């Protein structure tokens, strides 16, 4: 089942009823790199503490807590037991409750659930069972810092090394560094994470120990995480709206990092790329309001990541969507069998490139720098006086003008649509995609009954264009593979696949032109506005 994430950088202020928001980042790498990074970070810390921590994680037999996004554990700290309940989102910030308990038996009533009670639902003590255990040696440093603006912070750096233990006897190694805010400003967490990445711990770990423990017991690949809708209103200041949109896109990207790295399900990489593509669309929508140097940095780094991830996604689409109908038509064809073997090897190599990118220092520092910039709302500080005034203006008029501009560009590029060549239609597809993202960001500003029919026509047209683009990418892929094959079998397979889709495309042309006309004649739902 797909998950959702809406905000990866949630408000870190303490909550009522004993609840607080944990803010942490996790990094890993080789055993040697992690140990070296921990040794190098926080050199000014007063001392390094060390203790063994054994934590037992509990849930119901049907895993209701995990399904609702909760983690329940009891930790043996050597000098007593601590029970913790976390609202376990895939984000740096997580809500948690903690209390001391007399023994290793869970007692939800002792936590004073407060606002979490309704979300948790009815859970009876006799339902809870031990799912797995983590047994780690934890070394910690407490780093106290004062930044250039005089803001103080305390951050704990913890190196956990040990293993997960499952009831059936299976186990898996655990080796990571957690950087957790204990007091003060959250920027220090990002800065210390960058120090650790520079020391060699370059791979971010997004999922909690609990989520990874459950995954060890469940052979199903991790699902991709979709973004929730961005909730905006017309009177919201543009600068605040930009923060909500950036957080939403960053959250989707961040939440899918682990699943994309594992590569066991195409959805992980797909949803990570969707989040990153949505982020790039924000730059198109709001870029004129950002500092030029910041905008250039964002565009360059995001483009580098997308370029590295593209080949693996193209192969996923080809394998899962484009190839199966052709295999069904010729199930025993030797050339297609050769193509399948070649594609499997090529896809494996492409995912090696994905993992190399996601574990690289450049990627990790980009994600950390971007997260820190969004968290501190850096666009306000980087703006001049005119820029500050623009950020303080209401969102409504800007959104009206943005949508009008995007729709105008799409209609202009689609003029004479029936006679446009593939290159020109590709430009129409890009314009429609930018319009769609702008609508997705701002749709709550308009009456739903007017937005829905417009979106329905746009979505239908985008689906048709998406299939055409997938086929174009498939042709480029098949051309490359066939050119490097001396046996000639891949050339035969290329002909079968391209012939199949050429026949299908001929029948789709009339429908595509009709979809364009239907979209073009649909009444916009936004009011007339001056150009943005």
Alpha helices in 79-168 (DSSP H): 117-120
pLDDT of 94 > 80? The answer is no
User: Which residue did the predictor score with more confidence, 455 or 504?
Assistant: 455
**Per-residue pLDDT at 7:** 43
Cα(310)–Cα(316) distance, integer angstroms: 10
**Per-residue pLDDT at 380:** 95
Interval 303-319: pLDDT, tens: 999 999 999 999 999 99
Residue pair 254/90 in contact (Cβ under 8 Å)? The answer is: yes
Long-range contacts of 286-295 (CB under 8 A, 24+ apart): 286/242, 286/245, 288/532, 289/238, 289/242, 289/379, 289/383, 289/387, 289/390, 289/391, 290/379, 290/382, 291/379, 291/382, 291/383, 291/387, 294/373, 294/378, 294/379, 294/382
* pLDDT band of 221, cuts 50, 70, 90: confident
DSSP per residue over 462-482, as a string? Answer: HHHHHHHHHHHHHHHHHHHHH
Interval 462-509: pLDDT, tens: 998 988 888 888 999 999 999 988 888 999 999 999 998 888 777 788
Burial of 41 (0-12, 13-18, 19+ CB in 10 A): buried
* pLDDT band of 44, cuts 50, 70, 90: confident
The H or E element that residue 401 is part of is helix 395-413
Please enumerate in sequence order all residues whose Cβ is within 8 A of that of 267, keeping only pairs 6 or more positions apart, or say none: 2, 223, 224, 259
**Per-residue pLDDT at 178:** 96
Cα(68)–Cα(87) distance, integer angstroms: 9
**Per-residue pLDDT at 356:** 97
**Scanning the structure block, which residue is given the tokens 């999922």?**
207
Cα(315)–Cα(239) distance, integer angstroms: 39
Interval 250-304: pLDDT, tens: 999 999 999 999 999 999 999 999 999 999 999 999 999 999 999 999 999 999 9
pLDDT of 18 > 50? The answer is no
Arithmetic mean of pLDDT, 73-95: 78
**Per-residue pLDDT at 93:** 55
| Chain centroid, CA 475 distance in Å | 29
Domains of the chain: 3-220 (2.40.320.10), 267-520 (1.40.20.10)
Residue pair 53/138 in contact (Cβ under 8 Å)? The answer is: yes
Q: What are phi and psi of 263, to 5 degrees?
A: 70, 15
Q: Find the radius of gyration of the CA atoms of the chain.
A: 26
Q: Helix (H, G, I), strand (E, B), or coil: what is residue 358?
A: helix
Interval 170-202: pLDDT, tens: 999 999 999 999 998 899 999 999 999 999 999
pLDDT of 11 > 90? The answer is no
| The two structure tokens encoding residue 190 | 């990002």
**Scanning the structure block, which residue is given the tokens 């921590």?**
53
pLDDT of 119 > 80? The answer is no
Give the pTM: 0.89
Query: DSSP assignment, residue 148?
Result: T
For the chain, the 3-state helix, strand and coil shares in percent, each to the nearest 5, are 55, 20, 25
HEC per residue, 132-145:
EEEEEEEEEEEEEE
| The two structure tokens encoding residue 436 | 């769609």
Q: What are the distances in angstroms from CA 496 to CA 345, 372, 491?
A: 20, 50, 9
| The two structure tokens encoding residue 149 | 């603006």
**Scanning the structure block, which residue is given the tokens 């994309």?**
260
């Amino acid at each position: 089942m797909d998950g959702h994430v809406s905000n990866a950088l949630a408000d870190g202020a303490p909550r009522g009823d004993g609840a607080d928001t944990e803010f942490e980042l996790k990094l890993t790498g080789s055993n040697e790199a992690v140990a070296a990074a921990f040794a190098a970070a926080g050199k000014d810390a007063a001392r390094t503490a060390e203790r063994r921590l054994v934590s037992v994680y509990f849930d119901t037999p049907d895993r209701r807590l995990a399904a609702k996004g909760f983690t329940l554990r009891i930790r043996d700290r050597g000098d007593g037991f601590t029970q913790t309940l976390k609202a376990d989102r895939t984000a740096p910030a997580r809500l948690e409750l903690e209390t001391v308990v007399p023994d290793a038996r869970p007692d939800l009533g002792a936590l004073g659930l407060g606002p979490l009670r309704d979300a948790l639902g009815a859970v009876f003590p006799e339902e809870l069972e031990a799912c797995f255990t983590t047994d780690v040696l934890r070394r910690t440093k407490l780093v106290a810092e004062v930044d250039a603006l005089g803001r103080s912070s305390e951050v704990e750096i913890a190196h956990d090394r040990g293993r997960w233990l499952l009831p059936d006897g299976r186990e898996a190694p655990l080796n990571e560094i957690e950087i957790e805010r204990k007091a003060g400003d959250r920027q220090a967490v990002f800065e210390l994470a960058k120090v650790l990445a520079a020391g060699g711990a370059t791979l971010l770990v997004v999922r909690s120990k609990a989520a990874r423990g459950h995954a060890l017991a469940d052979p199903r690949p991790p699902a991709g995480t979709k973004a929730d809708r961005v909730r905006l209103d017309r009177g919201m200041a543009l600068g605040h709206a930009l923060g909500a949109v950036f957080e939403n896109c960053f959250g989707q990207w961040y939440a899918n990092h682990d699943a994309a790295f594992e590569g066991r399900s195409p959805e992980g990489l797909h949803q990570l790329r969707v989040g990153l593509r949505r982020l790039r669309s924000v730059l198109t929508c709001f870029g004129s309001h950002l500092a030029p140097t910041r905008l250039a940095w964002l565009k360059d780094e995001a483009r580098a990541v997308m370029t590295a991830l593209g080949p693996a996604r193209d192969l996923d689409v080809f394998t899962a969507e484009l190839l199966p109908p052709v295999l069904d038509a010729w199930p025993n064809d030797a050339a297609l069998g050769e193509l399948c073997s070649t594609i499997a090897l090529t896809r494996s190599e492409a995912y090696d490139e994905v993992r190399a990118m996601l574990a690289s220092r450049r990627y990790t520092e980009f994600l950390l720098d971007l997260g820190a910039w969004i968290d501190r709302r850096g666009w306000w500080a980087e703006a001049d006086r005119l820029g500050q005034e623009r950020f303080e203006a209401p969102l409504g008029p800007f959104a009206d003008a943005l949508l009008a501009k995007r729709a105008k560009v799409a209609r202009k590029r689609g003029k004479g649509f029936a006679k446009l060549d593939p290159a020109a239609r590709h430009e129409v597809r890009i314009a429609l995609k930018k319009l769609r993202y702008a609508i997705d960001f701002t749709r709550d500003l308009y009456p739903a009954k007017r937005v829905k029919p417009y979106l329905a026509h746009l979505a239908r047209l985008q689906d048709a264009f998406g299939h055409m683009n997938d086929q174009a990418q498939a042709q480029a892929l098949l051309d490359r593979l066939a050119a490097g094959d001396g046996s000639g079998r891949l050339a035969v397979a290329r002909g079968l696949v391209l012939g199949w889709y050429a026949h299908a495309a001929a029948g789709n042309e009339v429908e595509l032109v009709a979809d364009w006309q239907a979209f073009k004649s649909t009444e916009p739902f936004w009011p007339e506005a001056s150009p943005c």
